[in-house]
Amino acid sequence: QALEPKLFPIPSQIFAVCVSLQITMGSGNSSTVDYNMTYGSNYSLGGAPGYTMAGHNGVALEPSHTSSMIDFVESGTVKPFIIPILGLLIGAAMMQAPKVATVGKLVLYFGAQSFMNIFMGWIFRTHVTLPAGTMMNGVVVIDKDLHGCPVGFALTAMQQFISFFCFIILYLALYATPHKIVPKKISSLKEVISIIIFGCVFAMNIALNNFSLGYVSIAVNLIIRSCLPLTTFLSQQGLAFFKLYPFKPCKFLEIMLMVAGVFCACAFTVAKIMGSGGKNHEGSNQVLGCIMCIASLLCGSVNLALAGVLGEMKLTVYDTVAYMSVPAFIFLLPFCLMPKPVPGLWPQVLNTTTASDFTILMWTAKNAPSTFELFVLSGIFSFIYNIIQFTIVHTLSPSATAFGGNFNKAALVFLTLLLPFLQVHALPPFPYNLVIWLAVLGNVAAFSFYSYLQILAKQALKEKEQKEAMLDKREMVPVQYQGSDDDEDDDDDDEEEGGCC
């Protein structure tokens, strides 16, 4: 005897949100997937056949539809975002309590940074740009899902362009209010040159990082970028060799910690590549992604070192967008036209093994418009994230910010390993999984302890400067009041009167 399908009542608003999320972030492309096949031919939010009213302002849902939403929550799309979203919620809640507000800011910073990193990694490598079986001109293009979209330089240029227009809109919206944005005036040639150099190096840092995300996993990318302290130290010493930067003292323990962290990052990367079991061309693409990620890391280090050489501009996030977006956009345009090897199934789709970012971007806009819409959304996210990051960073000490930014990368990878149900891809088999675990633990321990030593050193330096300032003040007091006995008597009388109060 066939059983009647059991109906599960849920609020219609929640169902509508779930449907919207699945359409927006699901594995299919809105222009090529028939969503009626997913939700049934009777799908309607207006009470069409197939749905019955639950009697308490809700909509009754069939098991197949409930199952599709559960699959969505358990899918690889949602899993990576669970940790960042929890970080955002927990951090925002902690900031409401004064006793843990500082820790809450670090947690919020972790959530925001992790969300942006994972979102970009999802766009470049995980998101299904074209589903399997898609037909073009009556021919099936691919028999497997086409994942990601390798347009690192083009998307970075788009983000700079979109961020600039977001700034213009916000500037006009706040112009007649007390919160009017007033960009810093640029009054010297040195400031103009500094802005151009900072903008170009900063844009190349982001572009190379985005480029690498199309070829390596987000875990490999984050582990490599956690090696920023060592590359920054080396770039500072290199500039010091040319007398452009003061030599930084070489402390054996700190250097050994940085080297140990980098060694662990290398071990993690090699284990991930060798354990992936991919083909030779996939392995070479991953090596290319690692090289680009290291180049991005070097650009980030040079950017920090140049800040000390050219002087701090003390620009706000709005100044940065207003002055650096356009030079960065123009600087990246030639790189968007350079052909490069394309990963995954893209050679099959494009009928070529090499293509420029501009070619891939135009193809995506034509054949996968929903993916192109995600690119536009990433530009808006980038602008919002920069504002949040700037606000949080400037309410924390530089040491705490440096520690948080460096710790966040390895901590996200560690938490994903610690919670297997959040993993989109299973770990490689033994012995690679053991190497990955040990490498992540070693990387987190080494760079966290290094950051802790940096915080202690800066605290000690601050205390020393305060003591020296107090000694200087005490030495100046007798000189100011010498030869004035009457003043000393008056001071004594004042002190005695003050003691009575």
- What tens digit of pLDDT does each residue of 84-133 get? 899 889 988 998 988 888 788 888 888 888 888 888 888 888 888 988 88
CA distance 28 to 181: 41
Mean pLDDT of 339-358: 89
Please report which confidence band the pLDDT of residue 337 belongs to, taking 50, 70 and 90 as the band edges: very high
Q: What is the mean pLDDT of the chain?
A: 74
What residue type is assigned to position 400 of the chain?
A: A
pTM for the full predicted model:
0.69
Tell me how far apart the 2 most distant CA atoms of the chain are, in Å: 113
CA distance 484 to 270: 77
Residue 375 confidence (pLDDT): 93
CA distances from 411 to 209, 216, 390 (A): 19, 18, 21
Residue 479 confidence (pLDDT): 52
**Strand, helix or coil for residue 26:** coil
Q: Which residues of 70-88 are buried (b: 16+ CB within 10 A; e: fewer)?
A: eebeeeebbbbbbbbeebb
CA distance 310 to 191: 9
**Where is average pLDDT lowest: 60-69, 170-179, 255-264, 394-403?**
60-69
CA dihedral sign, ordered 490, 491, 493, 498: positive
Cα within 13 Å of Cα(455), Cβ side: 15
Please report which confidence band the pLDDT of residue 278 belongs to, taking 50, 70 and 90 as the band edges: low
Residue 448 confidence (pLDDT): 80
pLDDT of 142-152, one tens digit each?
A: 888 888 898 99
How many CB atoms neighbour CB 166 within 10 A?
Answer: 19
pLDDT of 220-238, one tens digit each?
A: 888 888 787 888 788 778 8
Please report which confidence band the pLDDT of residue 51 belongs to, taking 50, 70 and 90 as the band edges: very low
Residue 402 confidence (pLDDT): 61
* 85 Cβ neighbours under 8 A, 6+ residues apart: 111, 115
Closest CA to 223 of 286, 274, 268: 268
Please report which confidence band the pLDDT of residue 386 belongs to, taking 50, 70 and 90 as the band edges: confident
CA distances from 60 to 44, 220, 337 (A): 12, 44, 52
Residue 286 confidence (pLDDT): 81
Please report which confidence band the pLDDT of residue 66 belongs to, taking 50, 70 and 90 as the band edges: very low
Residue 151 confidence (pLDDT): 92
CA distance 501 to 492: 15
pLDDT at 392 over 90: no
pLDDT at 11 over 70: no
Cis ω for the linkage preceding 431 (within 30 of 0): yes
DSSP assignment string, 39-67: H-TT--SS--TT--B-SSS-EEE-HHHHH
Residue 65 confidence (pLDDT): 40
Closest CA to 75 of 7, 145, 16: 145
59-61 and 128-130 beta bridge pairing: unpaired
